[in-house]
Amino acid sequence: MDNSEIIQALKDCNAVQFGDFTLSSGQKSNFYIDIKKASTDPKTLKIIADYIARFLPSVTETPADKIIIGGVELGGVPIATAVSLSTQYPLLIIRKATKEYGTKSRYVGELDTNKEIILMEDVTTSGGSVKKAIEALLEDGAVIRKVITIVDRESGAAESLKELGVELIPLVSSSELVE
């Protein structure tokens, strides 16, 4: 599918910035992709969610009634929520750690091990944060085959997730954004 509308929306909301940045992976970069600007802008978030909703049937053979949309806190949550609203698929939020109070759960929503979780991520670099969430989900019996990321910085995330048997599907590569 043509991703030019997403690229333009990311540029229009000033999600792409240039300068000297240290990424969450620890890597240095001369550009930063502030997807939080996109996920807090209703117009851009709707463009992304609607694109993913149209795109999903082409990336999974799983029947619609067997899909859960997952989002890892913090960046994946608004994207996953918007996609859940657009598709009407159930939503599962994955915390970075199990909470120590209340239900002591790592998840918000129902983890149904009979359904496939398709994770949403905002930006992937090395894939470290989403990989930790996938490992926790797999330990709990979840089925995960795909991670859809808005932007892949093309710095090893696809290879890292492949080690877990999970395919990274970027909507946009960083090279497309900075050309």
pLDDT of residue 55: 87
pLDDT at 46: 96
pTM reported for the whole predicted model: 0.91
Cite the annotated binding site for orotate by residue number: 125, 153
Contacts of 14 (CB under 8 A, 6+ apart): 34, 37
Query: What phi and psi, each to the nearest 5 degrees, are found at residue 42?
Result: -55, -40
Question: Measuring CA to CA, which residue among 172, 179, 138, 174 is closest to residue 21?
Answer: 174
How many independent structural domains does the chain possess? Answer: 1
pLDDT in tens, the chain (179 residues): 799 999 999 999 999 888 999 877 788 888 888 888 999 999 999 999 999 999 888 888 889 999 999 999 888 999 999 999 999 999 999 988 776 677 768 899 999 999 999 999 999 988 888 999 999 999 999 999 999 999 998 888 999 999 999 999 999 998 998 87
Query: Where is the binding site for 5-phospho-alpha-D-ribose 1-diphosphate, in residues?
Result: 95-96, 99, 121-129
Residues annotated in the binding site, as ranges? 95-96, 99, 121-129, 153
Q: Say which CATH number the domain at 143 has.
A: 3.40.50.2020
Q: What residue numbers bound the domain in which 99 lies?
A: 4-178
